[in-house]
Amino acid sequence: MNVASRLPETSAAAQADRPAKSTKPAFLGFGLGLRAQHYDEILNGNPPIDWFEVISENYMIPGGQPLRTLDRICEGYPVVMHGVSLSIASTAPPNFEYLQGLKDLARRVEPKWVSDHLCWTGVHGKNLHDLLPIPYTKEALDHVVSRVQLVQDFLGRAIVLENVSTYVQFNNSEMTEWEFLSELSRRSGCWLLFDINNVYVSAFNHGYDPLAFLNGIPADRVVQFHMAGHSHMGTHIIDTHDHPVCEDVWDLYVAALKHFGRVSTMIERDDNIPPLDELLLEVKRTREIAERVLPSLGKQAE
Ligand SMILES: [Fe+2]
């Protein structure tokens, strides 16, 4: 596809700061990542979940049962879209077929927001199916700002980007991850998805204080929290999303609530999926802790 012909005129000025003027999305409450194992129970049981996050790529094939199921979920719950293939930091040309699919799905779902990760997932047409880290340099920041602006122009909405768990760091980084994310959000106008487990995992793996990360992010730029489990290997942590949320991450959630205030929060389980009731208990705990830490939460709720 001819990339140049698809770029909005202003995107050529890659270095120019041009924050999207979007209103901060409203607080949704306490949600859960939608997984196929729970479709029937959700559709038949109307469980007490405020909203669902859906994996965009699972529904980007036209027609079929998954889309019909998603339509029914959307009738009963607010939904946000969460992708894993945007590859926003890649140096490969933007994939406009993918972006068009994302835009088409967003038109159908009418999500409260569309998110992905600050990472790259492949190059030269190859998708490595992993969320790969980037160096936190000024050059990379300029590059990602211009990519976010391009994607936001194409989709016609501000996007939301999540911090990923990382296992390596780059010697040429010129700033911290939290400085990079903060500047990216300020310059491009994108919102941030603050994955509390990912902060915990990366902080352990690289030996820094997770509170430094947390306190380094401006509170007004964060629209969503992820809470998830991981696999602790002793010397390092792998972000497997196949366990319940651990107590250290629950403690970090308390600190996040104190710093960010009320933020739409959800439980993200991707493997070793338990019965819905088990995840509902974790969703209930996110709500109970938030109500305890932020006594005014109920009064503020919309
Ligand atoms: Fe996450």
Task: Quick: pLDDT tens for 244-271.
Answer: 999 999 999 999 999 999 999 999 998 8
Q: What is the pLDDT of residue 129?
A: 85
Start-to-end CA span in the chain (Å): 44
> 15: burial class by Cβ within 10 Å (0-12, 13-18, 19+)?
exposed
Q: What is the pLDDT of residue 299?
A: 60
Residue 137 CA to ligand 1 center (angstroms) comes to: 23
The mean per-residue pLDDT over the stretch 281-302 comes to 86
Q: 29: which residues sit within 8 A by CB, 6+ positions away?
A: 50, 51, 264, 287, 301
Pairing of strands 79-82, 114-117: parallel
Ion ligand 1 — residues with CB < 5 Å: 195, 226, 268
Asked if 99 contacts 157 with a C-beta cutoff of 8 angstroms, the reply is no
Would you say residue 7 has pLDDT above 80?
Answer: no
Q: What is the pLDDT of residue 27?
A: 97
Q: Around Cβ 198, how many Cβ atoms within 10 Å?
A: 26
The mean per-residue pLDDT over the stretch 138-161 comes to 97
- What whole-number percentage of the chain has pLDDT above 70? 91
CA–CA dist 179, 218 (Å, integer): 10
The mean per-residue pLDDT over the stretch 128-134 comes to 90
Residue 85 CA to ligand 1 center (angstroms) comes to: 14
Would you say residue 9 has pLDDT above 60?
Answer: no
Q: What is the pLDDT of residue 20?
A: 58
Residue 191 CA to ligand 1 center (angstroms) comes to: 15
Would you say residue 2 has pLDDT above 50?
Answer: no
Q: Which amino acid is at 289?
A: I
